[in-house]
Amino acid sequence: MNPAGTLYVTSIRANIDEKIANDDGFMGGKVDPYVKVRLDKSREKRTKAKDNTGNPVWNNLNMNFRVNANDRQASVHLFDADVGSGDDLLGDANLPLDRGNWINGREVRVQVFDRKNKSKQVGEIFLTVSYKPDPPNANGGIGGGIGYGVGGLGGSIPGMSKSGTLYVTRIRASISDEASSDGFLGGKVDPYVKVRLDKDREQKTPAKQNT
Ligand SMILES: [Ca+2]
Ligand SMILES: [Ca+2]
Ligand SMILES: [Ca+2]
Report the CATH number at residue 61: 2.60.40.150
Please state, in angstroms and rounded to a whole number, the distance separating the CA atoms of residues 8 and 166. 28
Number of residues that make up the chain: 211
Question: Domain boundary at 133, 159, 174, which?
Answer: 133
CA–centroid distance, 12 to ligand 3, in Å, is 19
CA–centroid distance, 141 to ligand 2, in Å, is 51
Please state, in angstroms and rounded to a whole number, the distance separating the CA atoms of residues 39 and 80. 21
Question: Domain boundary at 94, 118, 133, which?
Answer: 133
CA–centroid distance, 63 to ligand 1, in Å, is 25
- Write the pLDDT tens digit of every residue in 111-156: 999 999 999 999 999 999 999 999 876 544 444 445 555 544 556 6
Please state, in angstroms and rounded to a whole number, the distance separating the CA atoms of residues 82 and 31. 8
Q: Which domain holds residue 68?
A: 5-133
Please state, in angstroms and rounded to a whole number, the distance separating the CA atoms of residues 148 and 175. 13
Same domain, residue pair 141 and 102:
no
99 φ, ψ (degrees, to nearest 5)? -60, -30
Enumerate residues with CB within 5 Å of ligand 3 (an ion): 24, 32, 80, 82
Same domain, residue pair 105 and 150:
no
pTM: 0.65
CA–centroid distance, 80 to ligand 1, in Å, is 6
- Write the pLDDT tens digit of every residue in 41-73: 999 999 999 999 999 999 999 999 999 999 999
pLDDT for 151 equals 47
CA–centroid distance, 136 to ligand 3, in Å, is 46
Q: Which residues contact 205 (CB under 8 A, 6 or more apart)?
A: 171, 192, 193, 194
Same domain, residue pair 11 and 108:
yes
Q: pLDDT category, 159, cuts 50, 70, 90?
A: low
Total domains in the chain come to 2
Please state, in angstroms and rounded to a whole number, the distance separating the CA atoms of residues 7 and 132. 7
